[in-house]
Structure 1
Amino acid sequence: MRRRDFLQMAGMGLGATMLPRIPVLGNNVPLDAPWYTVDVAQKKKLADVALNEARSKGATYTDVRIGRYLNQYVITREDKVQNIVNTESYGIGIRVIANGSWGFAATDKMDTDSIAKAAQLAVAIARENARLLSEPVQLAPQKGYGEVSWKAPIEKNAFEVPIKEKVDLLLSVNDAALKGGGNYVNSYLFLVNEQKYFASSDGSYIDQDIHRIWPTFTITKVDAKTGKFETRDALSAPVGMGYEYLLPADADKIKGGVTTLYKKRYDMLEDAKAGAVQVGQKMLAKSVEAGKYDLVLDPTNLWLTIHESVGHPTELDRVLGYEANYAGTSFLTLDKWESKKFNFGSKEVNIVADKLQPGSLGAVGYDDEGVGTQRWDLIKEGILVNYQTIRDQAHILGLNASQGCCYADSWSDVQFQRMPNVSLQPGKNKLSPADIIKNVEKGIYIIGNSSYSIDQQRYNFQFSGQLYYEIKNGKIAGMLKDVAYQSNTQEFWNSCAAIADESDYRLGGSFFDGKGQPGQVSAVSHGASTTRFNGVNVINTARKI
């Protein structure tokens, strides 16, 4: 998945042409195949084969990842089902250090002889890599956890919900959108289950069961006379939850009752009804006048700006130039962190990295190096205070341990540094979105996200949205269109003037964040409350320069 594909997926202007680009791993399996997990004792037995063989061939460190990855995509258009994809991928990846260098090999042949040969190959590759080594790998220490497990706190396994129920939901969403005035509509349901087993020569045997879900749609309305059209994408967020995310509000008989996570459900049908009305309003909206505005950004818009302007530039491998050939570098160089006073944003800005937040895409118990996950500050009261690291990077920052940011998108890919959840913390004082709006004289309220552009250092950028509302003298004065805001990262976050309190805090995120060569994708969430930014440059995207 290329960075530009992530852009298109984030904006979710999918259409049928995007469908071939959705990453599909593994072999097709029957739609009615029962959901199950592989026996933990069997996985431990196979992992020990790899650990023992690598050690016997001279590896000083070994980790083993046994992965079973399930993907299900249900795709509809108007009154038809366009495609249903149901896949399974199962195999083992073995990473070693020998002669101070990394080596990696993988196989989907899950017998002891094939696994032993893969371990031998990983050691042989490490020895060859060592010929080019300038300095040996330095791993941060990590205690072994013994035999432990972690499961996503889901209430209803989406893979056990009948396909017909999922199709019926999407077709009802399409029907509501068409009856509400849309001319075309696509709807989608993406499901992921990662069954991951990690074992290492440090003494860890970790079994994890991870679930993610993303329901979404795109509604299009066309002016028959002019041929002009507008779209409205779903305002859903992909989440680390089960099918309870989509259940109706009165369905409170789920095991455990209505939990905090369950209250954050998404009503896809109601969003489609509202979207159908709003896409018609967009046809009639007035075009924005370019200029400086105070922006009030809903979390459905702000999450992507956080992802691009905060999440990526605080990845340490990007800071060090490891991603320069593909996805760029970062303006947040080490000297800025070492100064302990680099002004990233206003004092209102507190941004944390978090691999623990329930319901988020990045929530796991342990990363793909067997490191227990955690939460830490990246930006504190506007000052850059930290980055994102893995075990062989920790020493660069003088850390005694990894921050648990290692991930691979399959058993066949080597794990590397990936973004944790990165979120703007809510304001500490009681403040609602309405309170923020009433204090704005000339502004724009932006909901949802669409296209964006940002430079290779994650500094100069432009973002747009789904819905734009003009604010005049503290009141919403009508809908606008053709809006995009431009700034640079430091200027933008220093313009942050007010953040709504935790009652408005919501997650956004991406299923398909691309990085690395060969490319891998990861899922990551970004939380925020509605936030005001003063004096931001707004352009009219319909005007020719």
Structure 2
Amino acid sequence: MNRRNFVQLAGLGMGAMIAPLPAFSKSVHPSEMLRKMDVARNKSLADIGLNAATSKGASYADIRIGRYLNQYLFTREDKVQNIVNTESYGLGIRVIADGTWGFASTNDVTPEGIKKAAEQAVLIAKANAKIQKEPVNLVPVKSYGEQSWKAPIKQNAFEVPIKDKADLLIEANTKAMEAGASFINSNLFLVNEQKYFASTEGSYIDQDVHRIWPTFTVTAIGEDGFKTRNALSAPLGMGYEYLQPKAEDKVIGPEGIVLYKHSYDIVEDAVAAAKQAKAMLGAKSVDPGKYSLVLEPNHLGLTIHESVGHPLELDRVLGYEANYAGTSFATLDKWESKSFEYGSKEVNIFADKTQPFSLGAVGFDDEGVKTKKWDLIKEGVLVNYQAIRDQAHIIGEEESHGCCYADSWNSVQFQRMPNVSLAPGKEPYSVAEMIKNVDRGIYIAGRGSYSIDQQRYNFQFGGQLFYEIKNGEITGMLNDVAYQSNTQEFWNSCSKVCDESDYRLFGSFFDGKGQPSQVSAVSHGSATARFDDVNVINTARKI
């Protein structure tokens, strides 16, 4: 990292910690972020790379030319702390030679640079072949010819003047301070991935991906300490229209909590956060014990991510991630039994790379496979995993699931979590009705801290807001709540899921995996769900 990049990123606190930038990023003027790659030029360059690879002995090759754009705004109270505009541009080429993978990348996007990278990838593959025990086995993929896909955004957030975006964040900060916040920092993350894929199987695919995430942290200080409340927003695959709130996108939860679907009012949420953080200062501490939990989607999405999304990644199941991110309790023998009860009959969990507004939505994955939807858990029973072209044959699949991804042109693509979601209930059932049917419980909104073991089995989750339920009614706010369980026990305790009208998306920009580590963006949908007899602990009490 050079001095300019260091100065640019230093001093941003938490914002910088959660905002990794692609390899070889450079600062650019905001106007440069509106430029698009030339598709005809990309096709010509791709053919040069593919021909160079096959002429050196590759039996298969694919090439990804990528332009990765990021704009991050960081504010605190009445000040803009930093604005980051970066571009990363280059290409990666992946080959099979002598039955083995090889990969190389370059930011020299010229005919000469591409030829050199292709030759290097083949040399790496041939060197790897000397220790490869079994040749790579790719399931077939259709040749799609020339294709294009663009995120269905209504307003490109990069076209909105930076001043307007900064003013919106400062307005949210100001209103939160007026409502009683002691401190607030707010951030806006914008991502545009311009990606061109081509392979020796005849596909030439141009894609334009957009993502947005507005967020904040409010802090309220009292005589005995402080409380924080983070934004109840969700990062989504949308344009700036997400920050233009619509009344029909608001969901009013218990105690008047405002939750959001496909548009978000950051000012309204910041004001509510300030009031709720102040209320937390005087809320009682939870009594540990067994409770029924009513979990709203923004909270439940993280639990889905950690206890379903990760353990059903086939490479994790096979042990490929054991050195870094762990393994999985959901081993192949459980799937082969066709009767492993991952959850109750209320639990229907699916993967879907086509889901509108989701972070993982694309037309094709990073090895040219058309994306789709498929079941992972059906009526509680484990029925499938997440697999890409060189894994699918292991579980008897005839085609990839289309969930291969690389976070940069400089990274090799590998199996990444698609959008993994809990299907809503089929019968009309509201959150209010769910709470009425709870004798002793806790309603939890928003995601908090968590911990889960390397097999994605034993876990603990917190949240943002906690409300006690007694005899079917909310009786007040709680503090110091976390629940503990294991994955199978937890999902088997699911007794009811609300209907489609309550279905919303949670998401993460920065799902980490692999060595060298990569991040990916993924969403998780659900309606509010109830889980019975779950162990709740008091996080403030010493054991």
TM range (shorter): over 0.9
| Residue number in structure 2 paired with 1:499 | 497
For 1:289-368, list aligned pairs within 5 A: 289-368=287-366
Instruction: Compute the displacement of 1:36 (Å).
Output: 1.7
Q: Which amino acid aligns with 2:79?
A: K
SS in 2 for 1:480: strand
Q: Which amino acid aligns with 2:336?
A: E
SS in 2 for 1:120: helix
| Residue number in structure 2 paired with 1:33 | 32
Instruction: Compute the displacement of 1:21 (Å).
Output: 4.8
SS in 2 for 1:313: coil
| Residue number in structure 1 paired with 2:219 | 220
User: Contact between 1:502 and 1:529, CA under 8 Å: does it hold in 2?
Assistant: yes
Mapped to 2, the partners of 1:110 and 1:118 lie a distance apart of 10
What whole-Å deviation, never above 9, does each CA across 1:220-261 have from its counterpart, x for those lacking one? 0112x33x1000000000000000000143899xxxxxxxxx
Instruction: Compute the displacement of 1:15 (Å).
Output: 7.8
| Residue number in structure 2 paired with 1:173 | 172
Instruction: Compute the displacement of 1:33 (Å).
Output: 3.3
SS in 1 for 2:330: coil
What whole-Å deviation, never above 9, does each CA across 1:451-506 have from its counterpart, x for those lacking one? 00000000000000000000011010000000000000000000000100000000
> Is 2:202 aligned against 1:208?
no
| Counterparts in 2 of 1:84 and 1:494: CA distance versus 1, 3 Å | same
| Residue number in structure 1 paired with 2:196 | 197
| Residue number in structure 1 paired with 2:457 | 459
| Residue number in structure 2 paired with 1:119 | 118
| Counterparts in 2 of 1:537 and 1:250: CA distance versus 1, 3 Å | closer
Work out the percentage of aligned pairs sharing the same amino acid.
69
Mapped to 2, the partners of 1:33 and 1:307 lie a distance apart of 35
Q: TM-score by structure 2 length?
A: 0.94
User: Contact between 2:15 and 2:74, CA under 8 Å: does it hold in 1?
Assistant: no
| Counterparts in 2 of 1:250 and 1:502: CA distance versus 1, 3 Å | closer
How many residues of Structure 1 are paired with residues of Structure 2 in the alignment?
A: 521
| Residue number in structure 2 paired with 1:237 | 234
Question: Unpaired segments of 5 or more residues in structure 1?
Answer: 1-13, 253-261
| Residue number in structure 2 paired with 1:387 | 385
For 1:248-259, list aligned pairs within 5 A: 248-249=245-246
Q: Which amino acid aligns with 2:479?
A: K
Mapped to 2, the partners of 1:371 and 1:51 lie a distance apart of 18
User: Contact between 1:15 and 1:186, CA under 8 Å: does it hold in 2?
Assistant: no
Q: Which amino acid aligns with 1:142?
A: V
SS in 1 for 2:216: strand
| Residue number in structure 2 paired with 1:398 | 396
Mapped to 2, the partners of 1:236 and 1:216 lie a distance apart of 6
User: Contact between 2:291 and 2:536, CA under 8 Å: does it hold in 1?
Assistant: yes
Instruction: Compute the displacement of 1:22 (Å).
Output: 1.9
Which of 449, 469, 475 is the matching residue for 1:471? Answer: 469
| Residue number in structure 1 paired with 2:3 | none
| Residue number in structure 1 paired with 2:5 | none
| Residue number in structure 1 paired with 2:244 | 247
User: Contact between 1:482 and 1:542, CA under 8 Å: does it hold in 2?
Assistant: yes
Instruction: Compute the displacement of 1:17 (Å).
Output: 4.3
Mapped to 2, the partners of 1:299 and 1:275 lie a distance apart of 18
Mapped to 2, the partners of 1:294 and 1:114 lie a distance apart of 60
SS in 2 for 1:119: helix
Which of 529, 539, 542 is the matching residue for 2:540? Answer: 542
Q: Which amino acid aligns with 2:237?
A: G
The list of structure 1 runs, each at least 4 consecutive aligned residues, that deviate by more than 6 angstroms after superposition, is none
What whole-Å deviation, never above 9, does each CA across 1:407-458 have from its counterpart, x for those lacking one? 0000000000000000000001100100100000000000001100000000
| Residue number in structure 2 paired with 1:521 | 519
Which of 410, 413, 424 is the matching residue for 1:412? Answer: 410
| Residue number in structure 1 paired with 2:256 | none
Q: Which amino acid aligns with 2:389?
A: R
| Residue number in structure 2 paired with 1:484 | 482
| Residue number in structure 1 paired with 2:41 | 42
RMSD of aligned alpha carbons:
1.4
Mapped to 2, the partners of 1:331 and 1:213 lie a distance apart of 33
Q: Which amino acid aligns with 2:228?
A: T
| Residue number in structure 1 paired with 2:254 | none
Q: Which amino acid aligns with 1:367?
A: D
Q: Which amino acid aligns with 2:152?
A: P
User: Contact between 2:33 and 2:69, CA under 8 Å: does it hold in 1?
Assistant: no
What whole-Å deviation, never above 9, does each CA across 1:139-194 have from its counterpart, x for those lacking one? 01112100000000000000111000100000000001100000000000000000
Mapped to 1, the partners of 2:33 and 2:346 lie a distance apart of 49
> Is 2:452 aligned against 1:443?
no
SS in 2 for 1:444: strand
Mapped to 2, the partners of 1:294 and 1:118 lie a distance apart of 57
For 1:74-153, list aligned pairs within 5 A: 74-153=73-152
Instruction: Compute the displacement of 1:31 (Å).
Output: 3.0
Q: Which amino acid aligns with 2:425?
A: G
Mapped to 1, the partners of 2:175 and 2:423 lie a distance apart of 36
Instruction: Compute the displacement of 1:71 (Å).
Output: 0.4
Instruction: Compute the displacement of 1:210 (Å).
Output: 0.3
> Is 2:66 aligned against 1:67?
yes
| Counterparts in 2 of 1:15 and 1:123: CA distance versus 1, 3 Å | closer
User: Contact between 2:304 and 2:524, CA under 8 Å: does it hold in 1?
Assistant: yes
User: Contact between 1:62 and 1:97, CA under 8 Å: does it hold in 2?
Assistant: yes
What whole-Å deviation, never above 9, does each CA across 1:351-410 have from its counterpart, x for those lacking one? 000001010000000000000000000000000000000000011011111000100000
What whole-Å deviation, never above 9, does each CA across 1:103-161 have from its counterpart, x for those lacking one? 00011011101110110000000000000110100001112100000000000000111
| Counterparts in 2 of 1:34 and 1:363: CA distance versus 1, 3 Å | closer
Mapped to 1, the partners of 2:135 and 2:191 lie a distance apart of 37
Instruction: Compute the displacement of 1:18 (Å).
Output: 4.8
Which range moves more in the overlay, 29-38 or 197-206? 29-38
Mapped to 2, the partners of 1:463 and 1:503 lie a distance apart of 26
What whole-Å deviation, never above 9, does each CA across 1:280-320 have from its counterpart, x for those lacking one? 11101000000000000000110000000000000000000
| Counterparts in 2 of 1:169 and 1:520: CA distance versus 1, 3 Å | same
Mapped to 1, the partners of 2:506 and 2:326 lie a distance apart of 24
User: Contact between 1:311 and 1:422, CA under 8 Å: does it hold in 2?
Assistant: yes
User: Contact between 1:296 and 1:533, CA under 8 Å: does it hold in 2?
Assistant: yes
